[in-house]
Structure 1
């Protein structure tokens, strides 16, 4: 009888230990990001989260669809790598309900030049290089309009093409160039509209060669943190958002990217 009672007591004790161990286990939060700067930022957030007892696994991708597909199917909990228009387009094309819960970083397109230090100094007939792909070409034309160099037809938005240029007071000559080659084109043209990823990879300095940058509220410049709609109020995810927008993250961006990538918060 005593042996049976001892065995029963031992079983209860082991069960208690097991359950206690389970309750102490930390859930791993998976955050998707594309390789490069986006993943670097998430790594910084993961280090901060660890200090607060939140275990974050950074899942890196080399394409732009998989981070949203993984979030939609539940294999990821959050992602951070895209702007709102891209997220909206994914939702529309994949019948998904992913939402942004806040801003993370800025990746601004800018007008760069090795010949002048402000857009007003561009001479009549100056050559301006712009990307030759439709999305970035439209973005570049909007940037040139914001800089006061051209005006576009009403409501064309990011779908603008050279045919939508309504006025061009300086008779600027536009040269369409593959986006990756735009930094190298600066030796041949007067200025070029370049996205931040190619600014970074080429070593251009926005503070030295950037003569006009997109607004800090430009939809294609603001990167967001995304989750599934049902999880947008999850307190752990909200805490991670706070870490994306923390002073430590702000300092990390300054120390790591030296002005090329800025806080969007």
Structure 2
């Protein structure tokens, strides 16, 4: 169906993009991966998302930056040998479809769905959709519905790369409790206070944290509100970015991943629906 007037469709290098421009904000979405690439509220005209300057924007591989969609597993937690199945699942490398769009005084709402939800590693009957609201905030809802006759378990995440002016001038607040440290054999550790990023960081915070704030130079910049999650992931590759082929060696200085996540296994009964939602709130 044709999109509403606030949405322009464009193509580049074989990919299709939806560009949103309304009275409140602009945004860019790639249909490859159902991948949000930009969100700029007009209240301050500052980009909230970070995309690697070396990101592949031609469909050859997942896009580095923005908001990748992880589903139906997170990382390599698929029950097989690492590398046997695609990391973070198979939704971020397929072309999504525009199902619906609408405008109102609060912004622009876009509904997308992937081409398929059954593949090697996940053979269950379900529907998946993503609803994106672009306004004074950006709301992203990843919806999974069990349309089969048997329950199934899945994980998922909105793997958001937030833009920061400089990681060494950035703090996170609102996160408490323990986390699993991937870089230290999954050791359980206490969340630091104040929460600064001072080196390579890959942590799964084991609580349904609802609100986290990203502060830059002592000022609130972006608030991350999560619903339907059982964890929050914080990631920055630091100088390991130099070994990532689609990332600038110094790109780590300007990004911080705070990911609204299900990482502990969610069982969905027949006819049951689950929504993982992240709201990006400019400050």
The TM-score range, normalised by the shorter chain, is under 0.3
**TM-score with structure 2 setting the length:** 0.23
Higher strand share: 2
**TM-score with structure 1 setting the length:** 0.24
Structure with larger Rg: 1
Higher helix share: 1
